[in-house]
Amino acid sequence: MAFRIGVLALQGGVAEHAAAVRAAGAEPALVRRPEELAGVDALILPGGESTAMTKLLAISELAEPLGERLRGGMPAFGSCAGLILLAAEVDPPDARTRNYGAIDIAVRRNAFGRQVDSFEEDLDVPELGPEPAHAVFIRAPWVVRAGPGVQSLATVAAPDGSEPKIVAAKQGNILVTAFHPELTADIRWHALFLSMARA
C-alpha cells in the first residue's frame, strides 16, 4: 500500500501542501475527520490561525485522536500555525491555543508582527543543500526556546537586532517551519519530511 501523507484540511494552504506532497513523490490525503486521520502514515499541519485551528480541531473531533497519534510516534510537519500546535508551549502562554508537545520548543505567536509586517527572505539551510530556500513569512511565529534534542535548521535576524531567531527545526520525525514552504515552488521541505517520515 502507498505511503500516505495526510494534510490537515481545516484551514490554511491545504491544496498547496497537497500539491507539494505529490510533487515530492507521495500520495496526499485530506484529513477532516478522525477516520481519515486513522488512514494516514504521517500528517502535515498547515498554516492558518492557531486559535481558530484549535477550535476547528475540537469541532471536527480530531483534537484527541491527533494527540493520540502524535504520542504514538506519528511523523508530523507543521508550518506557521502548525508549528505552534506541535510545540510544547507558547510564550507568553495562551490558553486559546492547543500545544501537543510533539517537539520540545516554546514559540512566540505573531513574533514578527501583524499581517502588514509579512515578508519574504532567502534562508541558508544546509540540510536542504547549497541553494538558499525562499521563505514566505505571514504573521509568523519564532522559536524562543529549543530543547537539547531539537536541531535548528534555519534562523533569521530579529527585527529588534537581538540574536537570530530559529524559524525551522526538527526533532525525531517532527519538522516545523515558521514560514510557508507550500507558497513557493521549492519542494525540498516536503521531500525532507517524506524522508524523515519514511525513516
**Facing residues of 145 across strands?**
106
Can you give 11-38 as a three-state secondary structure string? CCCHHHHHHHHHHCCCEEEEECCHHHHH
Domain ranges within the chain, ordered by starting residue: 4-198
180 is catalytic: yes
Question: Could you tell me if 181 and 79 are in contact, meaning their C-beta atoms sit under 8 angstroms apart?
Answer: yes
* pLDDT computed for residue 123 by the predictor: 96
Query: What is d(CA 165, CA 103) in angstroms, rounded to the nearest whole number?
Result: 17
Q: Which three cell numbers stand for residue 40?
A: 494516514
Q: Which three cell numbers stand for residue 102?
A: 510533539
Q: Which residues contact 176 (CB under 8 A, 6 or more apart)?
A: 77, 78, 79, 82, 83, 86, 87, 103, 105, 168, 169, 170
Query: What is d(CA 191, CA 171) in angstroms, rounded to the nearest whole number?
Result: 16
- Among candidate residues 16, 36, 49, 182, the one labeled active-site is 182
Mean pLDDT of 27-35: 97
- Among candidate residues 16, 17, 180, 190, the one labeled active-site is 180
Can you give 143-199 as a three-state secondary structure string? EEEECCCCEEEEEECCCCCCCCEEEEEEECCEEEECCCHHHCCCCHHHHHHHHHHHC
CATH for 4-198 (3.30.70.1290, 3.20.20.105, 3.30.360.10, 3.40.50.880): 3.40.50.880
Query: What is d(CA 196, CA 89) in angstroms, rounded to the nearest whole number?
Result: 23
Kindly report whether the global pTM for this prediction surpasses the value 0.85.
yes
Question: Which residue type sits at 62?
Answer: L
Give phi and psi for 24, each to the nearest 5: -85, -5
- Among candidate residues 80, 89, 120, 134, the one labeled active-site is 80
Residue 146 Cα to chain centre, angstroms: 15
89 is catalytic: no
pLDDT more than 90, % of the chain? 85
Which of 196, 198, 190 minimizes the C-alpha distance to 23?
Answer: 190
At 128-174, the pLDDT tens digits run: 999 999 999 998 999 999 999 999 999 999 877 788 999 999 999 99
Residue 14 pLDDT class (50, 70, 90 cuts): very high
182 is catalytic: yes
* pLDDT computed for residue 116 by the predictor: 63
